[in-house]
Chain A
């Protein structure tokens, strides 16, 4: 069973330190929800682990199966089994979803490996149907002219096709209406199993009604300050983040 170990991680953007010593271990099969107020470093955490060039790791370690991934390029990390579901997914104009995902799959096969086109398309349509994405979208440019909800569903589609070991989901629920939220959650739940570990970053308890987490962590000022099970999220919703701040002040 694979593990993603984050050990005392410090992340800075330019001169400013955002994540100030975060420790967390995610095993395959587990869903860890990370909640916290704005600006506390949740997105930074996800993007930096994925290898975003804007962020600098100023201390600590991230290990995948015991090996550090901090020296790896973003694509190497992805091929090692990491997936980042973006909060604001990029448009890739003129590149169809079908071609994009095919290129991504082909990249994992390496030199000489041939992708079975028929099998590929069968899988693609299956996943699209599940996520209620119109099959016509295969020929549209990735995220080109998509609504917020469509973009997020496209992220889940990519995740379903690439079958990562660990998914870092950055505020996947932001900008979604109730129906879109339900579809996205179903899509994630469908992939949930012993082969997938999830870091689920969210503001609101609402998503966690649909994707029930195994663990809930509260992030504050660049660190995890409280951990618990799914009931912690409910307590947070009832009492608000101020409650956490007060508890910390008292400790």
Chain B
């Protein structure tokens, strides 16, 4: 095992913090570079990360191989937005250990962010962490009761590094199998430089009653750019996992590329809930996929509100008979934002069912895109898919696109696809105004009503915050 390599990082007077988006404000930066992989990505970076984590040789090989795959793949701009070309891979820092994330003072936090915290009722101690004023948020104490209860049931809940080191016999089996390194350029990137994230194993028959949260394992690393999550629910097990929060999450790093793999063995159920509200400078490119075995069920509930560009298509491979897959997706795109989201359902066994419900709202000059892939091959019987995608356009420059890719073969399968695009009708706004609601209040109500049946599927805390967040986003969209 090699000791960490000291890398030369040039510090220039005008740009001491390379890779940080200067338009977001000034930062103070700790000028001690002990555990730092520098900027840019090459084999040394990857070696460095692996060594810092004291990883076994197989994992280092895995990373090195992934790096080669990443370098060999082009950007997918033949179908995706060319905004991807604005990512400067050489200027990004791919690994920063705790204590090194750049900070800013509370005064430097923009007022509208502070206002959002206020409106969402975010606890004081969390605000500083979310706003990039503090690098760490130690939640260990707050949630230790839940952790204890959960470990008594035999549940393993660790970060990627710990899990692969201490329980390889459980995790190595599935690691990189649901989402192979070469799946796309960004899964390859993640596979090369991943750090943090949650690895969870639930033993057979165990039904975890309390939703597990990424919050439980927060430290600067785990809320990082290249999280890697793997959740395995053994036969008959059930678990819900929640990620993210409605509060605007500030990030200095402009590229976030996570990979989430879910494995539901026979009769198991996994529910994965995400609320994403990254700051407006972030490219959020995520690969999420679940593998559902016989009679298992995987449900993705995904809400995308923040970021400059999000590209995310949660998917389920329905591998066993009677497996079920579901994606519930809400996207809100405001000025300067592009939410490019959707779902993938790959049927690979008889009598499997899948459901996709996607609702998007485009405000101001925001753009939302739905991409859905549904694949049912000829030899299967009794498979069903139901897709509903609805788009709401608020202003005249708002934009929405829909790209469904449905491939159904055979004569014993059924697919249903419904799509709608609408504006909030003037008549409806007048009706609400005639009851005393201002145009802005009416618009907010109308938008919340549009996504209401999906919001109700989120846990209570989220759904209340989501409503408030929508209200905030809608303010200023009227008039």
Contacts and interface: CB of A to CB of B under 8 A. Distances in A.
Given A50-B434, A78-B436, A94-B453, A107 B427 contact: no
B450 A79 contact: no
Contacts of B450: 93-94
Given A73-B439, A93-B450, A94-B450, A78 B445 contact: no
B431 A104 contact: no
A92 interface: yes
Contacts of A78: 433-436
B181 interface: no
A90 B428 contact: yes
Contacts of B442: 75
A250 B476 CA distance: 58
A118 to B, nearest CB: 19
Tier of interface size on chain A: 20 to 34
Contacts of B445: 92, 95, 99-100, 103
Contacts of B437: 75, 103-104, 107
A149 interface: no
A80 B138 CA distance: 52
Interface string B410-454: 000000000000000111101111111111011001101111110
Nearest to B425: A90
Contact of B427 (A75, A90, A158): A90
B449 A95 contact: yes
A245 interface: no
Contacts of B452: 93-95, 141
Nearest to B450: A94
Interface string A132-151: 00000000010000000000
Contact of A51 (B426, B434, B446, B451): B434
Contacts of A74: 430, 433-434
A128 interface: no
Nearest to B442: A75
B448 A158 contact: no
A101 B451 CA distance: 19
A107 B441 contact: yes
Contacts of B433: 51, 73-75, 78
B428 A75 contact: no
A92 B448 contact: no
B434 A89 contact: no
Nearest to A86: B431
A30 B10 CA distance: 84
A108 interface: yes
Question: Is chain B's binding surface mostly helix, strand, loop or mixed?
Answer: helix
A69 to B, nearest CB: 13
Contacts of B453: 94
A162 interface: yes
Given A74-B430, A92-B431, A141 B436 contact: no
A166 interface: no
Contacts of A158: 435
Interface in A25-77: 50-53, 73-75, 77
Contacts of B430: 51-53, 74
A206 to B, nearest CB: 26
A162 B434 contact: no
Contacts of B441: 75, 103, 107
B303 to A, nearest CB: 16
Contacts of A73: 433, 438-439
B219 to A, nearest CB: 39
A92 B425 CA distance: 10
B449 A92 contact: yes
B435 A104 contact: yes
A215 interface: no
A196 B101 CA distance: 65
B449 A79 contact: no
A83 interface: yes
A115 to B, nearest CB: 13
B427 A95 contact: no
Contacts of A108: 436
A86 to B, nearest CB: 7
Contact of A94 (B431, B434, B438, B448): B448
Contacts of B449: 92-95, 141
Nearest to B438: A75
Interface string A215-242: 0000000000000000000000000000
A84 interface: yes
Contact of B426 (A53, A92, A95): A53
A107 B438 contact: yes
A158 B438 CA distance: 17
Nearest to A93: B449
B439 to A, nearest CB: 7
A88 to B, nearest CB: 9
Contacts of A86: 431, 434
Given A53-B426, A92-B428, A94-B453, A83 B446 contact: no
B431 A90 contact: yes
B434 to A, nearest CB: 5
A54 to B, nearest CB: 9
B436 A79 contact: yes
B436 A95 contact: no
5 contacts: A52-B430, A73-B439, A91-B428, A94-B448, A107-B437
Given A94-B452, A95-B452, A100-B432, 19 more contacts: A53-B430, A74-B430, A75-B433, A75-B436, A78-B433, A79-B436, A86-B431, A89-B431, A90-B425, A90-B427, A90-B428, A91-B428, A94-B449, A94-B453, A95-B445, A100-B445, A108-B436, A141-B449, A162-B436
Interface of A: 50-53, 73-75, 77-79, 83-84, 86, 89-95, 99-101, 103-104, 107-108, 141, 158, 162
Report, nearest first, the 7 A-B pairs whose CB atoms are least far apart: A94-B449, A94-B452, A95-B449, A74-B433, A90-B431, A78-B436, A75-B433
